Amino acid sequence: MKNKSRFLVVLMLMTMSLFLIATTAYADKDEDDEKEYNLLGKLEHSGEKGKKIFQIRSIPPVTDTTYLKECGACHFAYQPGLLPEKSWEKIFSGLESHFGEDASLSAEKAKSLREYAIQNSAEKANSKRANKILRSIKGEPPLRASDTPYLIHEHNEFPASVLKRKSIMSIANCGACHTTADRGIYSERYIHIPK
């Protein structure tokens, strides 16, 4: 009788540890992004300190509401952490002729958005993905995040014809495939390429 219950306890402990091992193996890095995002939400209230504790994987989401509105009118509002400071400077000095469109703003708005982008650029993001983007750039930084060597490399797996789909239209339409792009999460797990 005593032996049997001891056996049962051992069995239970074994299955439990097996279960634990299995779940930790499953909790891959993508899930960390999600956890990290939730944690960051809390850390935001503890100010800059939170950001410095560890390097995050995701790109910090946009927090400036004017940026979201003005730079999100024609396309997804790209996180400043997707490009280095120099790229943002170039973008903001040429808004009148912005990829074939006029994206000009009042001088006042342009100045504050430029500052926001530069203060949160890839160099300041403290993010692994932003650092990968930064490190991949050799020479003059491009205007487009999608033209940085790291992202060109990440995006070379699907044929160009995919981008012509009505549901996608352009590689610049990040949110079409990265369903969590607005939260700065670009993990493979949340990619869904629409038909």
Partner 1 sequence: MIIKTKSLLNKYLILGGLFILVLVVHQNEVLAFDKNPVVKAFQKQLESKAQNQSPGFKGFSAEEGEKLYHLKRAFSKDGETRSCTSCHTNDPTKPGETKVGKAIKPLAPKVNNERFTDVEKIEKWFRRNCKWVLERECTVVEKGHFIEFIYSI
Indicate whether 75 belongs to the interface with partner 1 (CB under 8 A). yes
Q: Are 125 and 81 in contact (CB under 8 A)?
A: yes
> Candidates 30-38, 43-51, 145-153, 165-173 — which segment interacts with partner 1 by CB under 8 A?
165-173
Tally Cβ neighbours within 10 Å of residue 183. 20
Does position 185 interact with ligand HEC (CB under 6 A)? The reply is: no
Task: Tell me which stretch binds partner 1 (CB under 8 A): 36-44, 55-63, 84-92, 167-175.
Answer: 167-175
What separation in angstroms does the CA of 159 have from each of 145, 163, 164, 180? Answer: 19, 8, 10, 22
Binding mask 146-175 for ligand HEC (x = CB under 6 A): x----x--xx-xx---xx----x-xxxxx-
In whole angstroms, give the CA distance from residue 56 to residue 127.
5
Report DSSP letters for 70-126, one per residue: HTTSSS----GGGS-HHHHHHHHT-GGGBTTB-----HHHHHHHHHHHHHTSGGGS-
Using DSSP's 3-state secondary structure scheme, residue 58 falls into coil
Among 102, 108, 140, 157, binds partner 1 (CB under 8 A): 102
Residue 145 in contact with partner 1, rule: CB under 8 A: no
Q: Which does 71 bind (CB under 5 to 8 A by kind): ligand HEC, partner 1, none?
A: ligand HEC
What is the three-class DSSP state of 56? Answer: strand
Site for ligand HEC in 22-41 (CB under 6 A): none
Residues that bind ligand HEC (CB under 6 A): 70-71, 73-75, 78, 82, 91, 95, 98-99, 101, 103, 113, 129, 144-146, 151, 154-155, 157-158, 162-163, 168, 170-174, 176-178, 186-188, 191, 193
